[in-house]
Amino acid sequence: MAIEKTDKIWHNGKLINWDEATIHVMSHVIHYGSSVFEGIRCYALPSGPAIFRANEHIQRLVDSAKVYRIEVPFTREEIVKGMLETVGHNGAWPCYVRPIILRGYGEAGVNPFNSPTEVYIINYPWGKYLGGEVEGCDVYVSSWTRLAPNTLPAMAKAGANYMNSQLIKMEAIVNGYVEGIALDINGFVSEGSGENLFLVHRDKLITAPLGNSVLPGITRDSVLQIARDLNVSIVEQVIPREMLYLADEAFFTGTAAEVTPIRSVDKINVGKGVTGPITKAIQKEFYALVRGEKPDRHNWFTAVPVRSKQPVSV
């Protein structure tokens, strides 16, 4: 989906014009991928725009920076405030919010320590990522393995990690699929190119533990909480590849994907090839919460102070 330009971008504590948010070609991030980032949705609730799980997302952002030894000159609270300021000023919602911390223009070479830290927050209108098909999407098991735990840290949401994701996604597209599922270094199920994965087998909701090179997804955590609310039995376990073919239901979760059913894996139908009852129940509850049709019982939303309450259409 093409990016729709908004008015301002937050840069190191100040709002600047969209077209002024530029970096030097010799910035460390361009040559060595030294960035960490978040993807967050701001929903248009009946009460006004609100960012979904803002604090949890920014905590993961600063945790990712810590793993990569990036000194962040702002607190979590200051970055959350920056997101609210950016969305409120631009008046574009529902939208996608992208905070990014990167190493800028300093020295050449792998050593990043003498390159300055830059913090940006961008927001722009954004709709469905995988199409939001009710009947589900068709995926395949990628030939590309997910990151090994002793290569790049999978628990950090770093820009460099997404070169691996791009290989998975591009391979899926050129082979006629919407998305790919990656296995970990030991051949067990990990996740999609940019989504966590859930299976349903014999009325149990199954997802891989973080040790299988899985990003600790915020939507993943939200779905686990919703499943508990619905009294669905949850199992976090190592998942053999063949479970993808034996599962009764399957779905992706993520900020972009939200809750997207999977119809088939490697051209083998998941269950009956339609969205199953547990997936439907979780999907229904998730969208009821993010649309404001049900109360925010888990305090997942942070309201955005705005100058106008006219949402954009996406």
Residue 53 has pLDDT above 50, yes or no: yes
Calculate mean pLDDT across residues 117-131.
86
Q: Residue 133 — very low, low, confident or very high, per pLDDT cuts 50/70/90? A: very low
Contacts of 48 (CB under 8 A, 6+ apart): 303, 304, 306, 309
Q: Residue 131 — very low, low, confident or very high, per pLDDT cuts 50/70/90? A: low
Q: Residue 129 — very low, low, confident or very high, per pLDDT cuts 50/70/90? A: low
- Residue 2 is predicted with a pLDDT of 82
Written out in words, the top-level CATH class of the domain with range 137-290 is alpha beta
Contacts of 161 (CB under 8 A, 6+ apart): 147, 152, 154
Would you list the DSSP string of 62-89? HHHHHHTTPPPSS-HHHHHHHHHHHHHH
pLDDT tens, position by position, 183-201? 999 999 999 999 999 999 9
The residue with greater pLDDT, 77 or 312, is 77
**How many CB atoms sit inside 10 A of residue 53's CB?**
21
- Residue 314 is predicted with a pLDDT of 47
Calculate mean pLDDT across residues 78-84.
98
- Residue 231 is predicted with a pLDDT of 98
Q: Which residue has the tokens 């439907």?
A: 280
Residue 280 has pLDDT above 50, yes or no: yes
pLDDT tens, position by position, 285-301? 999 999 999 999 999 99
Calculate mean pLDDT across residues 11-17.
98
Mean pLDDT taken over the chain: 95
Architecture, CATH, for domain 8-127: 2-Layer Sandwich (3.30)
Residue range(s) occupied by CATH 3.20.10.10 in the chain: 137-290
- Residue 134 is predicted with a pLDDT of 57
Position 144, amino acid: W
Q: Tell me the helix, strand and coil percentages in the chain, rounded to 5.
A: 25, 30, 45
Whether pTM exceeds 0.75: yes
Residue range(s) occupied by CATH 3.30.470.10 in the chain: 8-127
Active site residues: 157
Q: What percent of the chain has pLDDT over 90?
A: 92
Q: What percent of the chain has pLDDT over 70?
A: 95
Q: Report whether 309 contacts 48 (CB < 8 A).
A: yes
- Residue 307 is predicted with a pLDDT of 72
Q: Residue 312 — very low, low, confident or very high, per pLDDT cuts 50/70/90? A: low
- Residue 274 is predicted with a pLDDT of 95
